[in-house]
Amino acid sequence: MNSEIERLQPLLERQRRAFQAAPYPDAAARLQWLDALQRLLASNQQAIIEAISSDFGNRSADETRLAEIMPSLHGIHYARRRLRKWMKPSRRSVGLAFQPASAKVVYQPLGVVGIIVPWNYPLYLSIGPLIGALAAGNRVMLKMSESTPATGQLLKDLLAQVFTEDQVAVVLGEADVGIAFSRLPFDHLLFTGSTSIGRQVMRAAADNLTPVTLELGGKSPAIVSAGVPLEDAAERIAFGKTLNAGQTCVAPDYVLVPKDRLEGFVEAYRQVIQRFYPQLADNPDYTSIINPRQYARLQDYLGDAQARGARLLPLFEKGQARRMPHHLLLNVTDEMRVMQDEIFGPLLPVVPYDDLQQALAYVNARPRPLALYYFGYDKAEQQAVLENTHSGGVCLNDTLLHVAQDDLPFGGVGPSGMGHYHGHEGFLTFSKAKGVFVKQRFNAARMIYPPYGKALQKLVYRLFVR
């Protein structure tokens, strides 16, 4: 058996014993953990940038700073400032019939949390949930993706500098290790990845009745209104689609554009892309597709779409290695794989519509996405979009940036996931909100004890059962 698999259960037991020895870390201990994590990330930025770029073949250093290091550090700062408030018991009311008594909710660490990290943002999608789990007072095991071995090894080495393995442990290895990891009896398991793998993780967790948070994906739509300036919409959609070469779970997956504005949008989008990236060859700003398998998958999408009648519009003459040229796809149909699967790359189908009602119906006829983007400045139309669609999160007149707001919960709905984390919601996800009812010496409830039929019981019924 794989040695990494063999060590999983003993590692879990070590963390569980350590947790049982200190089941409720105080605020000072938790703040010390977060401080150590902050210093570690801040002082190793260049090593992180180089490791991630090595795994991708080329990852823009600025994208790693903007989309991984910066939000990780901001998440730590946000949690540190609010941790003592989060830890305070929440006072709750007690009904008159049950007085004298008090009630409160205490937020208790769950124990050992498992986190399965995807390859597309290997730092942020490990550190983000780690912040919530540590703030809530837990021990943590992280399973890094086999597609980012350099980043996984670096994070393992770095975290070992400030955490003992019975506090935070990093697990490496191939898909078989990930399968075994998901079968462990954690106190909570968070998985970020594809919907298909998410189903497998949930089945494995069900055998242990392990509660799960699933951060999946799906086809996140962007809707361009009839009135928004096309340059505004094109620029903001292009940023969301080109960041990390589209390898983002909340990247716009397709765009709905009014039929009479389609060609105008295509031209505006082309100009923006070519301004962002004047060329692909040797351009350090343009991130590569993570590996040959993912590159081949995207090429297959293009071939399938073209064979079924799509019009392909490459926005560059050619790429370099796995720096895949950005493409717009027109005349797409539901039979094409590019309209069935989450794209996760620099391909953007553009779908025409007649009116907003038709656009919303198109979105609602498909599985609920992780994100939805609407571009239009009319507030009545914005409200109509919010009220008549379901998605994990929404940006009005922007893309991606709702994920970076620490005070907003992040999570999917239905096929795009379940549960939330980030900020306070992360603390709550990795805590048990335990209801506590408190009585002291005087016991008014004796009035309702058997034998029944006494006068005081009848008075209670007249007062409270109505």
What residues are labeled active site? 215
Q: Are 211 and 189 in contact (CB under 8 A)?
A: yes
Query: Residue 270 — φ and ψ, nearest 5°?
Result: -60, -45
What tokens does 63 get?
Answer: 């994208």
Instruction: Find, among 289, 48, 252, 28, the residue nearest to 150 by Cα.
Output: 48
C-beta atoms surrounding 240 within 10 Å: 22
Query: What does DSSP assign to residue 367?
Result: P
Query: Residue 62 — φ and ψ, nearest 5°?
Result: -70, -35
Classified as helix, coil or strand, 314 is: strand
* Secondary element (H or E) of residue 128: helix 124-135
C-beta atoms surrounding 227 within 10 Å: 12
Determine the angle formed by the axes of helices 45-56 and 27-43, rounding to 10 degrees: 70
Classified as helix, coil or strand, 353 is: strand
How does strand 347-353 pair with strand 90-92? unpaired
Instruction: Find, among 68, 90, 81, the residue nearest to 30 by Cα.
Output: 81
Question: CA-to-CA distance for 144 and 156, rounded, in angstroms?
Answer: 9
Q: Are 223 and 256 in contact (CB under 8 A)?
A: yes
Burial 168-181 (b: 16+ CB within 10 A, else e): bbbbbbeeebbebb
Instruction: Encode 180-239 in three state secondary structure.
Output: HHHCCCCCEEEEECCHHHHHHHHHHHHCCCCCEEEECCCCCEEEECCCCCHHHHHHHHHH
